[in-house]
Amino acid sequence: MLFSGAMTALVTPFKNNALDEEAYRNFIEFQITEGIHGLVPCGTTGESATLSHEEHERVIEICIDQAKGRVPVLAGAGSNNTIEAIRLTRFAKKAGADGALLITPYYNKPTQEGLFQHYKAIAEAVDLPLVPYNVPGRTGCNLLPETLARLAKAFPNIVGVKEATGDMAQGSKTLSSCPQGFSVLSGDDFTALPLMALGGHGIISVTSNLVPGRVAAMVNAFRKGDVAGAARIHHELFPLHEAMFFESNPIPAKTALHLMGKMEAELRLPLCAIGTAAKEKLTAVLRQMKLI
């Protein structure tokens, strides 16, 4: 299976409102050294919505170059504009990404047929493994299991989905509807273990920005059949999963990395400043878990 295990939705470090390449390379090295199974640059956690096209491409290039094939790179390349999504996906292929993560078109509120035609156009335009990203809480639309199964059966290069509805019933239906070998990845740290228990293949994680080794250990334990061990780690990490959403992602993740001394992780926009109460709660969780 091309995409499975614990994959980190990488934050994008900025310094003086510009991409901090040195910090990014060091951060990628930290992730790989800790045992993460894959990397996802330019997702929601990477503040893709506020990257210029030039920055977006450079973030992907750096990630691929630093990873050097040691783990797969699933590059964020989606857009609510089909033509732009095709362009970004073509770039990801040219740069050497192992696949492209494609968010459902946001703001447009497409129909299910519109979603099918959007992904069909990308799949036909670019011969690269593609993973739709379904996160209705961000986009205002839901890629339903029936539509996803239709896409998976029609286009062999649509190889998986990042399922971030938090709905285990939908996750179960997706698993039963899609072809064998189709990679269903949780997009919510809370649901990683439950979804794997249903037959899911791993997690694209926010929490692993902070503790990649622990998130990978949970997946490794489950893969080995140590369900009790995986559950122990799941419960151990649960306060951290909750903390990552005290404010909108990636505000808590970047704040936590700063508090932990992992990076000077500036956020791109002033509107992303963390609230005082949320920062206090986040600090308390980090102290409780002995991360600071």
Please give the pLDDT value at position 244: 97
Cross-strand pairs, 19: 14
pLDDT at 266: 83
| CA–CA dist 251, 189 (Å, integer) | 16
pLDDT for the residue numbered 270: 81
Q: Judge contact between 75 and 101, C-beta under 8 A.
A: yes
| Helix, strand, or coil (residue 38) | strand
Residue 1: the pLDDT is 60
**Cα–Cα distance, 198 to 203 (Å, whole number):** 13
Residue type, 88: L
Q: What is the pLDDT of residue 269?
A: 83
CB 100 within 8 A of CB 84: no
Q: Where are the beta strands (DSSP E) in 165-212?
A: 183-186, 202-205
Per-residue pLDDT of the chain (292 residues; tens, 9 = 90+): 689 999 999 999 999 889 999 999 999 999 999 999 999 999 999 999 999 999 999 999 999 999 999 999 999 999 999 999 999 999 999 999 999 999 999 999 999 999 999 999 999 999 999 999 999 999 999 999 999 999 999 999 999 999 999 999 999 999 999 999 999 999 999 999 999 999 999 999 999 999 999 999 999 999 999 999 999 999 999 999 999 999 999 999 999 999 999 988 788 888 788 999 999 999 999 999 999 9
Told to judge if 133 belongs to the known catalytic residues of this protein, a careful annotator would answer yes
- Tell me how far apart the alpha carbons of residues 256 and 243 are, in angstroms, rounded to a whole number: 9
Please list the residues that pair with 201 across neighbouring strands: none
Active-site option among 133, 254, 262, 279:
133
CA separation for the pair 257, 249 (Å, rounded): 13
pTM of the prediction? Answer: 0.97
Catalytic residue among 24, 119, 162, 262: 162
